[in-house]
Amino acid sequence: MKLNRFNHARRGSESAEMIIALPVVILVIFAGFEYGWVALKSIQMDHAARVGARVAALSGSTSADVENKVNAALLNSGIVGATLTLTPQDPSTAPLGTPITVLIQTDYSNVQLLGLSRMMPLPAVLKGRASMVKEPEP
């Protein structure tokens, strides 16, 4: 079987197209992984804040109780280096009906998956926030 020059040239152009397209396709796939990871960690931060707000809303809870629960939830999620802001600072002194807010923040560099922040727009800081009303004693 005889190959003509047209078929041989066509195979070369397919290789060139693949060399150009493959890095773009791989970047898109990895970007999907990274953005999915951002969504997962954001949900986990919100969950930890919600756990802390739930504890803070209970009668007799202290800021140490809230901090312990939030840190346990973050540790279970593999999130390190987060800061906790509790408003009011001591939930045990808050009057009934007062909204208590828990805010958790961490740098995305602490939880990143692939380290593609130089190649794509990713958040610098991840936040989790929850608020609940102080409950009366049971």
Q: Which of 133, 136, 71 is nearest to 104 (CA)?
A: 71
Q: Is pTM, for the whole model, over 0.75?
A: yes
**Which conformational region is residue 60 in: left (phi greater than 0), alpha (psi within -120 to 50 degrees), or beta?**
left
Q: Which of 78, 56, 60, 79 is nearest to 68 (CA)?
A: 56
From first to last of the 138 residues of the chain, give the pLDDT tens digit.
555 555 555 667 777 888 889 988 998 898 899 999 999 999 999 999 999 999 999 988 899 999 999 999 999 999 999 999 999 999 988 899 899 999 999 999 888 888 777 778 888 999 999 999 998 876
- Looking up tokens 């901090």 gives 67
